[in-house]
Structure 1
């Protein structure tokens, strides 16, 4: 057992971590996948930055943030990815980043094909469909047969690459928002590269809970946010472009504030949430002090395993996310086998057991209930879920 895995089981340690968050009285929140909480110290810093920027207005922004602080933040984000500052541009969220990469990808030619799967986020699906319509290319949409395995996921893509030889660009979600399925990105990206297919990676749920290296993954284009597992204020994201491929992404909407060889020209224009960005160095400092994505991911996986190991033995419960450690993270989905309306069971979990969860649909496995513990949750919270599932499925 690794040090992170041992620490993940130390409830005393994680009680101390949970104590850093202010939590509103009410249901046990097992829907932490929407966005994460800020620690109390991050909230205080954010509020202080709001007040300061409100007082100083454009004086500080023009003199310091635009010319110095934003560059320091870019460097810190690049360091998180193990890459160069010149490969990172600030955005408002992962969706903004991915939309900019998709709409400005300029390497398509008549007759080319695009690829998406049923695991993509809805806004990414919509953007790829828009791209196909507006560039006059064909969109191929595939589904992953359920249940999935590491090999079946890779094989589904390999078969698509063979079947559609005109594929040029594909979207790939690292961690799917519906079930928490972790895609075998490195294997899929490698196979795509052999067929001359570019990959745009949706890393929204990966950053902060999965320890990864973009270069090792073979990813050249990606979008991330900082408000889920990093614990930053809402409205922060960034995009990544390998510098060798910058020319394949046009400046966004003809952006001319920056030179053509500057990645910042690829980001959507707008005044950013400057106080939020000024808070990010503290967010990154706390993230690293806790042990980074490896430590956070180990804890979230442990909480996930607490309830999944019990639910697997319940005849009335179907756990949809596989147990292969390469394919799951803290997010996992389930379904009540004999209940056609999973929303009704979400309502029961809330009304009868004070547990807040959410439904998700749109994939081959159908409607499901997503369970997403966070760093403020305890092992006891997941025991409540186990009892609820056992009683409701019996």
Structure 2
């Protein structure tokens, strides 16, 4: 399967039901389920509603849930003892941050302007409740592989009381892919632990957590894997489990079980029951290698045609190590990027989303999906070319 084969990817797109309306270039919020997954999910909803706790207590909790957890661990090349299901990456990351027990008053923790707001909030919560100091970096723009690594190395030297770093693998604002392995290596040299936000990485980037040097991470299954909403998971290296406390005294599982690190609650059982099919479809499609290649091709298709336009500033690097499906841009000379996102929608039927909070200001995020065609990317190129000529 070639990422440029429109006929092949058209057959893949046919597996998804699309609501009539704008061309969706905001596939980063959450991913679609395939028609087969959706139908199975709906069947499971009806079945669980009929059987209620009889099935859940007798079969799901005692057997099927264990197998699902095994398959989940297999997806990332980990042992089942290293993962626990959560509702989303945010839940997993909050649990890791609030239960990390190696901090003392006066220690420092590190975030950057590109972290997810929930993660920023959790790290600031540590400052209020643990007496630590939050160090906040603003990344230079445009970023390069070397500049990103240098920024963190300089921070580790400048702030010797640093103990914990929140690091986003794929930043949600611009799609910048962080050089995780190099940063984690530098962090380890200075005795700094890393909690990795892998929400957008899983499913479009191939990685090995052990090779990356990551002991703590949170992921989503409903973005690029194709699962129903409300599914994510936490990863903790079993050799580091003791450094994360059971969540608020959680006692449904023993302290030696990673599942004690998340809140105990009734899960979305019908959604969990679909995961074996979700994992099977992901593998048959070629996994992250095939998905990532297609998404990167669609990204390159528009970026390479508009980067030279005077009116357009593409904010994400073209270094293949530093980008994926998501890429952000802004219209030069426009104070309010939302005005331009509205024009993309109203005049060209293109749905995008604005993002703010980074040092470079607001931007427009473009995220193709597996159902996006090259022809639809062509509409985006025409829109940016025409709007740029009118507004700059």
Category of TM-score, reference length = shorter chain: over 0.9
CA separation in 2, counterparts of 1:63 and 1:167?
48
Deviations 1:248-271 (A, max 9, x none): 101111000111100010012211
Deviations 1:120-153 (A, max 9, x none): 0000000000011100111111110111000000
Residue 122 of structure 1 pairs with residue 107 of structure 2: no
CA separation in 2, counterparts of 1:338 and 1:163?
36
Counterpart of 2:108? 113
CA separation in 1, counterparts of 2:64 and 2:136?
42
Residue in structure 2 matching 1:92, options 80, 87, 90: 87
Counterpart of 2:268? 273
1:204, 1:224 within 8 Å by CA — same for their partners in 2? yes
Counterpart of 1:178? 173
SS of equivalent to 1:305:
helix
Residue 102 of structure 1 pairs with residue 97 of structure 2: yes
Report deviation, 1:311: 0.7
Alignment of 1:100-249 (within 5 A): 100-249=95-244
Report deviation, 1:110: 2.2
2:252, 2:264 within 8 Å by CA — same for their partners in 1? no
Counterpart of 2:304? 309
CA separation in 1, counterparts of 2:68 and 2:162?
36
Q: TM-score, normalised by structure 1?
A: 0.98
CA separation in 2, counterparts of 1:283 and 1:28?
25
In the alignment, structure 1 segments of 5+ residues that lack a partner are none
CA separation in 1, counterparts of 2:247 and 2:227?
25
The two structures, once aligned, show a CA RMSD in angstroms of 0.6
CA separation in 2, counterparts of 1:100 and 1:41?
33
Alignment of 1:334-345 (within 5 A): 334-345=329-340
List, as ranges, runs of 4+ consecutive aligned residues in structure 1 with deviation greater than 6 Å: none
1:301, 1:330 within 8 Å by CA — same for their partners in 2? yes
Counterpart of 1:10? 5
Residue in structure 2 matching 1:293, options 264, 288, 294: 288
1:96, 1:268 within 8 Å by CA — same for their partners in 2? no
CA separation in 2, counterparts of 1:112 and 1:67?
43
Q: TM-score, normalised by structure 2?
A: 0.99
In the alignment, structure 2 segments of 5+ residues that lack a partner are none
SS of equivalent to 2:328:
strand
CA separation in 1, counterparts of 2:291 and 2:305?
22
Deviations 1:149-179 (A, max 9, x none): 0000000000000000010011000000000
CA separation in 2, counterparts of 1:19 and 1:118?
38
CA separation in 1, counterparts of 2:61 and 2:196?
28
SS of equivalent to 1:367:
strand
Counterpart of 2:77? 82
